[in-house]
Amino acid sequence: MNNYFNYIIQPGDNYSLLAQRFHTTTEEIIAVNPRVNPYYLSIGQQISIPISKQAYRPMQEKHCISQAEVDYRNDLRSLWEEHVAWTRMAIISLVFKLPDVDFVIARLLKNATDMGNMIRRLYGDVAAETYASLIKGHLLIAADLVKAALAGDQQAVMAADKRWHENADEIAVFLNSINRFLTEKAVREMFYHHLDLTKQEAVAMINMDYQKDIDVYDKIEKQAREMADAISDAMVKGYPSMF
């Protein structure tokens, strides 16, 4: 196991602030980055951060949850619940060619911006915009997949599904790059499961198998809350001083 993790430089970062944030020292950061000039860090640059034992100290003492932490967890849960709810409404509008389809998709895409804003105060504007763009791609590809399925274009369905999973891989890499508690493997598994359930939902609606569609959506809601909680846990662990 490596005794360091990768980190992407954000606006305002310097070794002193990173040392304080991750419970290490500037000397230790310099030591694991021998080829990096500590005085000329650029936004988007990847460096290594040494893992301190303190970061993995068991929380044996009593832990009081602050109001800021409660609010963050509730807000992220709400966003993921909105994410799957508006995705469902977009599927319905597309399948049944409802006149509100453009308005519904526009509201769905706002969720991507809101998701980005949830990490803005922790990681800055660049990270927030990057995450928002990735989530927007995730949503747009989902719409493309449904449209291809409705048109009976299996080749387009397969192409969209491939892009969907590649997008999930990019999200996993990104989240891991900003928060070591979100491993690529864990995030990839969460998003792959989310994609699989959403596909089941769309197929059931296209086939007008309404009971199966409802049963799948119950699973989607539960899994979305689990994803929200997993991400919230990582954010709180990574930045306890912010909560």
Read off the pLDDT of residues 26-85 as tens digits, 9 standing for 90 and up.
889 999 999 998 888 888 889 998 886 554 444 444 456 788 888 999 999 999 999 999
Q: How far apart are CA 150 and CA 152, in angstroms?
A: 5
Between residues 158 and 22, which one has the greater pLDDT? Answer: 158
Reduced to 3 states (helix: H, G, I; strand: E, B; else coil), residue 129 is: helix
| Residue extent(s) of CATH 3.10.350.10 domains in the chain | 4-56
Topology at the third CATH level for domain 4-56? Membrane-bound Lytic Murein Transglycosylase D; Chain A (3.10.350)
| Cα–chain center distance at 207 | 30
pLDDT digits (tens, 9 = 90+) for 169-191: 999 999 999 999 999 999 999 99
Reduced to 3 states (helix: H, G, I; strand: E, B; else coil), residue 20 is: helix
pLDDT digits (tens, 9 = 90+) for 126-135: 999 999 999 9
Q: What is the pTM of this model?
A: 0.75
